[in-house]
Structure 1
Amino acid sequence: MPSALIIGIAGQDGSYLAELLLEKDYRVVGAVAQGESESLDNLGTARDRVEIVVTDLTDKGNLLEVMGGYRPDEAYNFASQSHLNTSLDEPVVTGDVSGLGVTRLLEAIRRASPATRFFQACSSEIFGRHPKEVPQTEDTPFLPWNAYAAAKLYAHGIVGAYRRSYGLFACSAILYNHESPRRRPEFVTRKVARGAAMIRLGLARELRLGNLEARRDWGFAGDFVRGMWLMLQHPEPDDFVLATGKTHSVRDLCETAFSCVGLDYRDHVVADPDDFRPSESASLVGNPAKARRLLGWEPEVSFRELVEMMVKADLESLRNAR
């Protein structure tokens, strides 16, 4: 039975990956930060089939102990400060966890479990506000614009350094926005899905958002974790862009979400300048051709199917809570 360690299993990606690996008969060990072991709702019924261990990416001794104790065939790292506003408020913590934490993790693998295949979740934010080319590929120049992106670029670079210097099977995915009903409420896709559901149920009258013209390359998290797994099955370690290659605006998102509940978004959505995101990226859209060619990976869930899935889940959740 193959084994996998998922660092950050409590989050959206970690929980979808756990379900995928359990379907493939893996032994799954989920690593969580201190205090997170009680917050595993995303795992649902899979919780009883997952072993949980507490890890700290700022503690190299802890990481050595975990890696040496489990020696997993595969390790996936999702632990990060992923919300931009929080990373701007806490840039030192962001760098320590999202950047240096990856170095500590790789060093633990090198010393205690060198046969482990390692996956690192990086971000399209490393291309900056004004990417040098559109769409972006694995070879597009990097130009991070904030602490989160800079930390992710460091992580991306250190993965390649350990691969080249020590021969580790270490891969980094440049991930574009990927969403699901498990996305945290502060992200715009979930704000819109939940907002549409609340207004449909009479629990709210309006939804205040930032820039409705901002565009994103949005895909389904379940599709993306399949791509992550495929990266570690490939004969050679490498880095890949995982993206849909298509963009939609926040306005498109609102129109689709509200149409799912029979409403016109124009009657309920208010653009609030106070909610405009700092360091807005203008043209982030990925080219997943390499992943398609070498991994056989293709996104399967369309934008509309994704939004409908999220709105339906929030409607059900809100109705059950009444």
Structure 2
Amino acid sequence: MKTAFITGISGQDGGYLAQLLLSKGYKVIGITRNNHPTNLYNLSYLGIQEEILFEEGDLCDLPFVIRILEKHNPQEIYNLAAQSSVGLSFAQPTATIHYNISSVLNLLEAIRIVDSSIKLYQASSSEMFGKVSNLPVTLTTPMHPLSPYAISKATNYWTVINFRESYNMFVCNGILFNHESYLRSNTFFVKKVLQDSFKIKNGKLDHLRVGNIDVKRDFGFAPKYVEAMWLMLQQNDPRDFIICSGRSISLRHIIEYIFDKLSLDKNKVVIDPQLYRPTDILDIYGDNTAAQELLGWSYTLKFEEVLDQLIQEEEQNLTIARA
């Protein structure tokens, strides 16, 4: 039985990854900052909370990280912990950069000290590339991060590579583009649009207030993306991969698609300039060829298919809540 750590296990990706690893016979240990039941909703929703062992602590505390590695001797670590909201990173740049960078550096240093054979997956982000001049994004695309969050992720990306090259460690970056599910936090665009759209449909909200919806992003489905995380640590050699759908879609199209499905009046969409970001990516999508050819990972879903599933799951859970 392999033992795997998942940091950030209470988030969207942490829940689906834990479910995947448990199905493969892993012993899963979740590293959390707070084990309060409200923070473990996603794991409870998936019916796996009782199958996971939890360790509560701060990844910015190197002695804590060393201690839990020595205690559990994991073979694999999936680092998903981060302050991951781009918008919030503008409001809290110091906290975002400090936590995101220190936590990764401590994990890498703890592995080097305790057992350099431990494999690490680091959750990178397409936000690192920011202002791109040529699409699709590949591993050779220059980085021009446009937010404090993106800056922290770019720093982590190169830190992982530095430890890999300096100490011959099996550590790698998974550069995931936007990926959604029912378990997505309501601070993210698609989830916010879904929740507010149902509130409008049910007479609990008058308008959907959004910022710049003419930007485009590469969106996918989270349960499929976590499969790539696992595959990356099963390879003979560590390397970085871009995980994406390979196409972009405008935020405006997503809103219009959801409103059409729910038979809502599009005049209820209000553009609020106060919700614009100081800087923003206009269009971005990636090239997933390497992931398909070298990992054997496949992705064929159109985002409209993902939206259909998200709308259905949102509606089902609202019906259950009202019952």
TM-score, reference length from structure 1: 0.95
Q: 1:302: how far off? A: 2.5
Give me the whole-angstrom Cα distance separating, in 2, the residues matched to 1:116 and 1:286.
Answer: 29
Give me the whole-angstrom Cα distance separating, in 2, the residues matched to 1:116 and 1:208.
Answer: 46
- What residue number does 1:69 align with? 71
1:91 aligns with 2:93: yes
Give me the whole-angstrom Cα distance separating, in 2, the residues matched to 1:279 and 1:307.
Answer: 27
Q: Is the 8 A contact 1:72 1:113 kept in 2?
A: no
Q: Is the 8 A contact 2:59 2:103 kept in 1?
A: yes
- What residue number does 2:135 align with? 134
1:237 aligns with 2:238: yes
- What residue number does 1:207 align with? 208
* CA displacement, residues 204-255 of structure 1 (integer Å, 9 cap, x when unaligned): 2321111121111010111110111111111110001111111111111012
Q: Is the 8 A contact 1:55 1:66 kept in 2?
A: no
* CA displacement, residues 7-47 of structure 1 (integer Å, 9 cap, x when unaligned): 01000000010011111111111110135565111012100
- What residue number does 2:163 align with? 162
Q: Secondary structure at the match of 1:69?
A: helix
Q: Secondary structure at the match of 1:39?
A: helix
RMSD: 1.5
Q: Is the 8 A contact 2:146 2:281 kept in 1?
A: no
Q: Secondary structure at the match of 1:270?
A: strand
Give me the whole-angstrom Cα distance separating, in 2, the residues matched to 1:196 and 1:313.
Answer: 14
Give me the whole-angstrom Cα distance separating, in 2, the residues matched to 1:251 and 1:137.
Answer: 26
* CA displacement, residues 45-74 of structure 1 (integer Å, 9 cap, x when unaligned): 100101111131210000000111111111
For residue 180 of structure 2, what is the amino acid of its counterpart? Answer: E
- What residue number does 1:101 align with? 103
Q: 1:82: how far off? A: 0.6
Q: 1:281: how far off? A: 0.3
* CA displacement, residues 88-139 of structure 1 (integer Å, 9 cap, x when unaligned): 22222212211122011111111113221100001111112x2132111011
Check 1:222–1:300 CA distance in 2 against 1; reply closer, same or farther (3 A cut): farther
- Mark the runs of 5 or more structure 2 residues left unpaired by the alignment: none
- What residue number does 2:291 align with? 291
Give me the whole-angstrom Cα distance separating, in 1, the residues matched to 2:211 and 2:68.
Answer: 42
For residue 317 of structure 2, what is the amino acid of its counterpart? Answer: S
Structure 1 outlier segments of 4+, above 6 Å = none
Matches of residues 16-27 of structure 1 in structure 2 within 5 Å? 16-27=16-27
Give me the whole-angstrom Cα distance separating, in 1, the residues matched to 2:293 and 2:160.
Answer: 22
Q: Secondary structure at the match of 1:233?
A: coil
Q: 1:86: how far off? A: 1.8
Q: 1:257: how far off? A: 1.3
Q: What is the number of residues matched between the two proteins?
A: 320
Matches of residues 146-161 of structure 1 in structure 2 within 5 Å? 146-161=147-162
- What residue number does 2:32 align with? 32
Q: Secondary structure at the match of 1:141?
A: coil
- What residue number does 2:258 align with? 257
Q: 1:259: how far off? A: 2.4
For residue 121 of structure 1, what is the amino acid of its counterpart? Answer: A
Give me the whole-angstrom Cα distance separating, in 2, the residues matched to 1:317 and 1:19.
Answer: 20
1:55 aligns with 2:54: no
TM-score, reference length from structure 2: 0.95
- What residue number does 2:303 align with? 303
- What residue number does 1:271 align with? 271
- Mark the runs of 5 or more structure 1 residues left unpaired by the alignment: none
* CA displacement, residues 266-311 of structure 1 (integer Å, 9 cap, x when unaligned): 2322222222233110122111111111111122433112112222
Give me the whole-angstrom Cα distance separating, in 2, the residues matched to 1:318 and 1:134.
Answer: 39
Q: Secondary structure at the match of 1:62?
A: helix
Q: Percent identity?
A: 37
Q: 1:2: how far off? A: 1.3
Between stretches 105-114 and 12-21, larger displacement belongs to 105-114
Q: Secondary structure at the match of 1:30?
A: strand
1:184 aligns with 2:185: yes
For residue 198 of structure 1, what is the amino acid of its counterpart? Answer: K
Give me the whole-angstrom Cα distance separating, in 2, the residues matched to 1:61 and 1:38.
Answer: 27
